[in-house]
């Protein structure tokens, strides 16, 4: 059997690789052994929600996230990103749904999930290659390419799409990351998840403080607090600032109220890379916002090295912190905001001025 290398970790096989009976079960067991909370195998091919995703972008609901438009052709057919790929191993990894609500969304309190899941998936690819004695074509993704991970997760039997657009597991809720390993290996697939367990519940839709849901399973990201505090690079619309409350980075509200999370969310394992790091651990919104506004670039880089929070950059995080102090701060924050108002960065200046007007 010969293989031809076409890129890092990607091969075009000259013949179809077929896994022996029971190998898919062994691969999933290895994923569990390495820390996965869920694991399933799905066949590749045309993706069910590709057209809906394209319509979502066309309606402007993606806001400034123009990168989501890239690779549309590959996104529609999951056999295309990796030449010769036939199957997907889909894993879910817990990030601690039982942790208390706070100013930082649970997923962002610890290490960057990209730095955890991608190496884990690559390790599983290497393990499979070693077990079968041949270099298996493949590539790992976790929110890093033109892959509709939720589609593949549902196809692999992991859960259904909740009304808040999250993939929900009937055993674990939705506080988990999804990772996908596309493989040029014909694996026995799992039965897809075909039922919907949301019923008549609309708690997630009703709880959203910014009314970001256009309808069930339809999110206008431009109104979502996660988008406003992370992806939006410019000024937060004034009409939405007050509705952010004490949220500094991201939002868990639509997940926190979900009955499946209330009942079935899992605690973080000891030593989890997603445990809150020192700078954010245990801090209320006001304390955290004050500490963020006191950071300079070097301190920010040190505090959030290897953290997903770096995505917002210091200017974005201090913009958010200013809004939070405008919402839930006290008169004790007037001096802090007055200092921030004179920041050389116009974005921080603008939001600190808005916040200061609310505290006086």
Among residues 77, 143, 186, 291, which one is catalytic? Answer: 143
Adjacent-strand bridge partners of 38: 92
The residue count of the chain comes to 360
Q: CA 17 → CA 12, 20, 130, 186, 296, distances in Å?
A: 11, 10, 14, 6, 53
CA distance 11 to 7: 7
Beta-carbon contacts of residue 151 (< 8 Å; ≥ 6 apart)? 47, 48, 49, 50, 78
Q: How far is residue 68's CA from residue 12's CA, in Å, rounded to a whole number? A: 26
The two three-digit tokens of residue 101, written as one number: 């609500």
> How is residue 23 written in tokens?
């190998």
Nearest alpha carbon to residue 226 among 208, 202, 205:
208
167-172 contact pairs (CB < 8 A, 24+): 167/92, 168/197, 168/198, 168/258, 168/260, 169/38, 169/92, 169/260, 169/264, 170/197, 170/260, 170/264, 171/38, 171/264, 172/37, 172/38, 172/92, 172/94, 172/97, 172/264, 172/265, 172/266
Name the nearest CA neighbour of 36 among 159, 209, 180.
180
111 is catalytic: no
**Strand 138-141 versus strand 3-7 pairing type:** unpaired
**DSSP-derived pairing of the beta strands 87-94 and 3-7:** unpaired
Query: Which residues touch 208 (CB under 8 Å, ≥6 apart)?
Result: 224, 253, 254
Residues 6 or more apart whose Cβ sits within 8 Å of residue 55: none
- Known catalytic residues? 143
């Amino acid at each position: 059997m010969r293989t031809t290398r076409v890129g890092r970790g990607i091969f075009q096989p000259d013949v179809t690789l077929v896994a022996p009976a029971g190998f898919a079960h062994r691969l999933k067991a290895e994923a569990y052994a390495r820390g996965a909370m869920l694991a399933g195998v799905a066949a590749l091919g045309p993706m069910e929600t590709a057209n809906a995703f394209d319509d979502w972008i066309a309606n402007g609901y993606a806001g400034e996230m123009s990168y989501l438009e890239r690779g549309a052709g590959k996104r529609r057919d999951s056999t295309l990103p990796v030449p010769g790929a036939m199957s997907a191993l889909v894993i879910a990894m817990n990030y601690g749904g039982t942790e208390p609500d706070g100013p930082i969304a649970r997923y962002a309190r610890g290490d960057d999930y990209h730095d955890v899941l991608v190496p884990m998936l690559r390790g599983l690819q290497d393990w499979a290659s070693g077990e079968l004695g041949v270099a298996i074509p493949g590539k790992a993704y976790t929110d890093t390419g033109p892959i509709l991970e939720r589609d593949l997760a549902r196809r692999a039997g992991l859960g259904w799409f909740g009304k808040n657009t999250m993939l929900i597991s009937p055993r674990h809720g939705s506080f988990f990351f999804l990772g996908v390993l596309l493989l040029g290996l014909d694996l026995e697939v799992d039965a897809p998840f075909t039922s919907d367990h949301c019923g008549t519940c609309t708690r997630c839709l009703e709880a959203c403080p910014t009314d970001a849901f256009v309808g069930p399973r339809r999110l206008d990201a431009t109104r979502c607090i996660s988008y406003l505090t992370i992806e939006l690079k410019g000024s937060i619309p004034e009409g939405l600032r007050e509705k952010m409350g004490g949220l500094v980075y991201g939002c868990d509200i639509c997940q926190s109220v979900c009955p499946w999370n209330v009942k079935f969310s899992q605690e973080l394992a000891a030593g989890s890379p997603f445990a809150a790091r020192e700078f954010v651990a245990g801090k209320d919104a006001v304390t955290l916002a004050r500490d963020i506004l006191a950071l300079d670039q070097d301190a920010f880089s040190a505090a959030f090295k290897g953290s997903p929070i770096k995505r917002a950059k210091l200017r974005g995080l201090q913009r958010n912190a200013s809004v939070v102090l405008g919402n839930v701060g006290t008169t004790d924050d007037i001096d802090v905001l007055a200092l921030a108002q004179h920041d050389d960065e116009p974005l921080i200046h603008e939001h600190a001025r808005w916040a200061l007007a609310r505290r006086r």
